[in-house]
C-alpha cells in the first residue's frame, strides 16, 4: 500500500491536471493506494487583513477571511478529486496556509506519505536565488518526490 500526496496550485489548471494525471497513473494498480490532494494558500499570515499584508505591514484587521478561503479551496479540491481521481484512490483533501514547501513537507510527514507529486513552473530570478518550491520539497521531504513539468 502506498500513500500519494498530489500537491497542486489551484490557479494553474494546466499544471494541476498533469500532476493529478501522473499521480493517478502511479497509484493505479497499486493495491490499497490512496491519493491525498493538497493546496497551500501562501503569502499572507493568518489574522492579517489582506490590505495590510499587501503593503507589508504586520498589523491590521482580524477580518481576514482565511478560514473562508480554506473552506472554498477544500470544496474546489473535492470537486477536482471527484472529477479526476477514481473514488477507490481518494483519501482526502488538505488545505493549509503558509510557506508552500514547508506545508507540503509537514503534511507528507503527518500523513505517512510515500510519494509526493507536484508541478514545476518556469523559474523566475527569485527562484534561482532562493530555490523553487519543488526543489525545496525534494531537498526536505522524507519520501520520494516526483516533479511534473
The DSSP symbol for 97 reads E
Domain boundaries, the chain: 3-148
CB 108 within 8 A of CB 142: yes
Q: pLDDT for 1-45, tens place per residue?
A: 799 999 999 988 988 999 999 999 999 999 999 999 999 998 665
- What's the topology of domain 3-148? Rossmann fold (3.40.50)
Write the pLDDT tens digit of every residue in 102-143.
Answer: 999 999 999 999 999 999 866 554 454 445 888 899 999 999
Taking the model in full, what pTM does it have?
0.83
Map grid coordinates 493529478 to a residue: 20
Amino acid at each position: 500500500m502506498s500513500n500519494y500526496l498530489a500537491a497542486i496550485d489551484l490557479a494553474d489548471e494546466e499544471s494541476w491536471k498533469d500532476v493529478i494525471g501522473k499521480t493517478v497513473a502511479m497509484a493505479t494498480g497499486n493495491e490499497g493506494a490512496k491519493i491525498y490532494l493538497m493546496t497551500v494558500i501562501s503569502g499572507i499570515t493568518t489574522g492579517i487583513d489582506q490590505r495590510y499584508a499587501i503593503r507589508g505591514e504586520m498589523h491590521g484587521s482580524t477580518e481576514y477571511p482565511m478560514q473562508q478561503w480554506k473552506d472554498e479551496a477544500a470544496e474546489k479540491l473535492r470537486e477536482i478529486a471527484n472529477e479526476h481521481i477514481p473514488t477507490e484512490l481518494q483519501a482526502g483533501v488538505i488545505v493549509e496556509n503558509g510557506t508552500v514547501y514547508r506545508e507540503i513537507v509537514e503534511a507528507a510527514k503527518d500523513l505517512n506519505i510515500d510519494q509526493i507529486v507536484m508541478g514545476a513552473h518556469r523559474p523566475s530570478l527569485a527562484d534561482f536565488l532562493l530555490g523553487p518550491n519543488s526543489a525545496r520539497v525534494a531537498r526536505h521531504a522524507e519520501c520520494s518526490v516526483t516533479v511534473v513539468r
